[in-house]
Structure 1
């Protein structure tokens, strides 16, 4: 029940009660006399309508509308927008439009036009909203910031990038671009559509930014994987404008912590989340689970997950993925089964995640059972991602013939992800013939993806076919394709340091190489013999050994040993797959230096400790 103050009468229920019978109102004087007789003001009707809007009370609102009509307030410029909004929130845009159309459009002000446009947007009638906007402009009315920001948000949600550009132009002409609501909507829109330059142009012109402005630009950078800028903006927001992050800002910056494996920064944000009570938000919790998982700490991710009162499929999927990428494949499978026992049905993403876990964990039979029964058990028809996971599952296990036959019998045309999984398996198992077939299919499907050419070149190099290596590299030159340079990065005292292979650009390079030289002597004493087959260059054996010892992840390890506390784990991220020799060497390093080394490559985390790796050498 809505309770008015003593000065405001009557209550909602008296406003909804029927009027006594009387003659039809025919003149303004009769309307005025009726208003006096009823003793009801427009502000009282407005409060009653607001209550119906907030509670979505359609029938009560209709009764109030009848009283408004009989009292002669229907065309009131304060009540008309509210009536339109009331019908809109109750899902009756048709009734809002009927009300709107009863009044000559030239007699309507911008506020009422905006109400009707917003009503159309809210119910998903964007085309109708745009037509109304055009009519409004044709009548010579200048839109206000509310109209433009509502249209920009709607255009963003529906993917109409061209319309966003046009609305931006209109906002400049109307002088509304300086409005904070319009500017924030444009920053969000440009970020969503991947135009980071456009987002920054608008953002940099905002004179007095609020938390929405900062959150929008931080989110834009994270979505476009500009993680360094995302973290920098997050810091500037607090230091320059003294804004405290909200839930959206937190969710937007956590992927940057994940990318750089910035566990300390992620932990600091988590502490802030707890202080503010944001941890009750399932979206924030899912982001924290992902952050901890991608910083190599699946146990902390599980603590966040386990402390929640309510779970949804997204959270379960995030946690299953967290266990999987950190080598806890059995726990991932256990969680998948537990989820079903609790009555939660996995979605297609959950199935991609668990199939990937089975693939990387060598759980071939379990993965195949999930795939072949997913339609029956979960009513989910396999998509291309699921097929690619099965090819990867079979390929990693060395069952390349079975993988090839599986592709031939697929119910849908195999795409690049399927042939990409097969090509990767061929590289791991040095199957040249099948690798060529997969590569040539990929050259047709995605001719400008340099990775496919590099993998085929590596397959040739692994068996000493240097002439074919040269042909593939020349093909890349002809297509103007280049290989991604390998690099690794490590965070020390909130600063990220990046190393390339054989890099000597660091200011402490001499000390780093000295640490590695001393480490190399200890490894040799422990029985380490470099596996030069992993050097895919046609050079002599001594050069191959030298190249292996200066891979980017080893330089990062050397720097970590030089700068981090003796007992602290060393966390490193790498943009390429860890090579086989480095994998063996790092296992031994973890033993001789008695340190935990956590390295994330393009696929997953490798937790090295006491001479072994969490992947079980199955990767």
Structure 2
């Protein structure tokens, strides 16, 4: 209220009268206001500017329209300082149509860059990036030179439209017009390049910046996180805090949390959560959703649900994240119940929500529930099934061993099958040793994705599962000829802020002898607890004893053995892996957990 009084004293009584009329306490009767207005001098353009800014800060279409009428009556509608603000008032109120009407009434050649930028920014703010670009082209044709604010808005529009080449062109234009080093432009470039995973382009701009603010660092951290370069995002976060003494914001927090998921670093995630609480970020729905995703992916869905339950506001994205969190941790019944509760709360599932719940039904074996959701989704939720939903259904049928039904479903699909659809069924062919169907699917995948090595590997594994070693060799040779390589499996664990990575049968670690001794001890203990090696998961033509050795030295078991040597008793051990855990390791690790009470 004190700030309002200072402004009031600086303005003439007419302005104070108007300010009173748009304040929350404007219950003075109209006659008294009009009486005072008659005895007051006219409002100046500078004072109108202050009033417009108040309408921008606290958007009100009705008050903005009334103020616009007074400005027109005063003859200031074409004032170069007021016109951009008038356009902005309508834009922030979501009435870009009124802003456009006002703009079209003005002679184009008399408009300066501020007016053009206001309309361009207005279109971007109202989710119409295409129209913003059209105005930019017209602006250039008329010889109006864009400024830093114009480019900042246009870069956001390009990112929203997914136009990578346009970002490069705009970058060149920023250099041409001498605004490339402006903070707002450089920040927008970092964000735009990062949105498309072009970390090199983002880093090039970032490194050339003379001054960086929290937006600069957050955008660069987000760019690294977007391409899963989480180690670099964490390093940037440390530099931002300790070298530049900058305080992270909500975007920084959201960009860092995926790194905690990737490294299964619950402790770091908890530290970031504590920081978010101290700075009041947890009320932000996006931050809340990112936190519950982090807890879910770090194996703690119960605490994720505590975050979910404590959120002041929850939207469909938050509900979807929580449903996915339970599904990721094998709590498929809970995920399905939460999906029903979400609908009872009056929230309508989105396209992504349905992908998540169908995936949960697939992994949980709820075939009937999944098929019912799929078959009624258009009628119940108004969402046309997409290729991702179809892939979930194929995966669901394939996991249940209904390979013929899955193939018939693909043949009946209204949309053309994609690689994800065929790939879902190809994986099931490996589980159920269906060589004939696997060969047909693999051939289709080779045509759709000639450079995807995983399809060749799965076909090779199908042959190996039935002992067709000549065909295994043929597929492997074909991969070599095509220059394709299988992704190497590895597992990692974070202990005391350091990440340790292990490959299968790895002996490169300095403490390998101790690790392998621990493995032998664990093997003896789990065999006594009932472990029988599933040698079918060794897809190599080797002897039976060698198969046992191969299984015992998979990367995840090496990581566990090392962790047991280093992590204090009763402390949970979290291992991350880049590939799926084999069935034998899945069974063995349950027994390791049992015999070590971890």
Which residue pairs with 2:594 in the alignment? Answer: 591
Whether the 8 Å CA contact 1:323–1:332 is kept in 2: the answer is yes
Instruction: Give the C-alpha shift of residue 268 in structure 1.
Output: 0.7
Inter-partner Cα distance in structure 2 for 1:14 and 1:265: 52
| Residue 318 of structure 1, CA deviation | 1.0
Q: Deviations over 1:144-187 (max 9, x none)?
A: 32222222222222223222222212222333222111100000
Counterpart check, 1:263 vs 2:281 = no
**Cα distance, 1:80 vs structure 2:** 2.6
Residue 617 of structure 1 corresponds to: none
For the pair 1:538 / 2:544, whether they are aligned, the reply is: no
Q: Number of residues paired by the alignment?
A: 579
Give 1:317's aligned residue: 320
What is the rounded CA distance, in whole Å, between the counterparts of 1:13 and 1:477 in structure 2? 81
Listed one character per residue, the Cα deviations across residues 83-142 of structure 1 (whole Å, up to 9, x for unaligned) are 232344445556545655666666554434433433444455656644654565566665
Q: Residue in 2 aligned with 1:115?
A: 118
Shift of 1:445: 2.0
Q: CA offsets, 1:463-517, max 9 Å, x none?
A: 1100110111122112211101010011111211111111111222222112112
In structure 2, the CA distance between the partners of 1:428 and 1:184, relative to structure 1 (3 Å rule), is: same
Out of 2, 11, 14, which is 1:10 matched to?
Answer: 14
Q: For the residues of structure 2 that align with 1:271 and 1:42, how far apart are their CA atoms?
A: 48
Corresponding residue of 1:601: none
Gaps of 5+ in 1: 19-35, 596-619
Higher percent of residues as helix: 2
Tell whether 2:208 aligns with 1:205.
yes
- 1:249 and 1:344 map into 2 onto residues whose CA distance is 29
Out of 370, 374, 377, which is 1:371 matched to?
Answer: 374
Residues 421 and 75 of structure 1: CA distance in aligned 2, closer, same or farther (over 3 Å): closer
Taking the aligned partners of 2:342 and 2:99, their CA distance within structure 1 comes to 45
1:471 corresponds to which of 474, 480, 490: 474
Q: Which of 215, 225, 248 in structure 2 is aligned with 1:245?
A: 248
Cα deviation code 1:377-405 (max 9, x no counterpart): 32323222222212222221222222223
**More displaced 10-residue stretch of structure 1: 444-453 or 247-256:** 444-453
Instruction: Specify which of 347, 351, 361 is matched with residue 348 of structure 1.
Output: 351
Instruction: Report whether the alignment pairs 1:411 with 2:414.
Output: yes
Distance 1:123 1:568 in 2: 50
Distance across 2 between alignment mates of 1:202 and 1:229? 16
SS at match of 1:496: strand
Shift of 1:196: 0.9
User: Equivalent residue for 1:578?
Assistant: 581
User: Relative to structure 1, is the Cα distance of residues 436 and 104 closer, same or farther in structure 2, using a 3 angstrom cutoff?
Assistant: closer
The residue aligned with 1:399 is 402
- 1:575 deviates by 1.3
Is structure 2 residue 154 aligned with structure 1 residue 163?
no
Which residue of structure 1 aligns with residue 497 of structure 2?
Answer: 494
| Aligned 8 A contact 1:12 1:48 in 2 | no
Q: 1:222 to 1:14 in 2, by over 3 A?
A: closer
Q: TM-score w.r.t. structure 2 length?
A: 0.90
Aligned to 2:27: none
Alignment correspondent of 2:444:
441
**Deviations, residues 528-551 of structure 1 (Å, cap 9, x unaligned):** 343322211112222222222211
Once the two structures are overlaid, the 10-residue window that deviates more, 323-332 or 87-96, is: 87-96
Q: What's the CA shift for 1:73?
A: 3.1
Alignment match, 1:519: 522
Q: Which residue of 1 aligns with 2:198?
A: 195
CA distance in 1, matches of 2:315, 2:130: 34
Structure 2 residue runs without a partner (length 5+): 22-29, 32-38
SS in 2 for 1:566: coil
For 1:172 and 1:399, how far apart are their aligned partners in 2?
A: 60
TM-score of the superposed pair, with normalisation by structure 1 = 0.87
RMSD of equivalent CA atoms:
2.7
Q: Does 1:148 align with 2:151?
A: yes
Q: Find the aligned partners of 1:67 and 1:375 in 2 and give their Cα distance.
A: 51
Is 1:300 aligned to residue 266 of structure 2? Answer: no
Q: In structure 2, what is the equivalent of residue 25 of structure 1?
A: none
Structure scoring higher RCO (CA < 8 A, sep ≥ 6) equals: 1
User: d(CA) in 2 for partners of 1:385 and 1:132?
Assistant: 37
Question: What are the residue-to-residue correspondences of 1:11-26 with 2, within 5 Å?
Answer: 11=15
Query: 2-side partners of 1:585 and 1:291: how far apart?
Result: 26
**d(CA) in 1 for partners of 2:351, 2:80:** 50
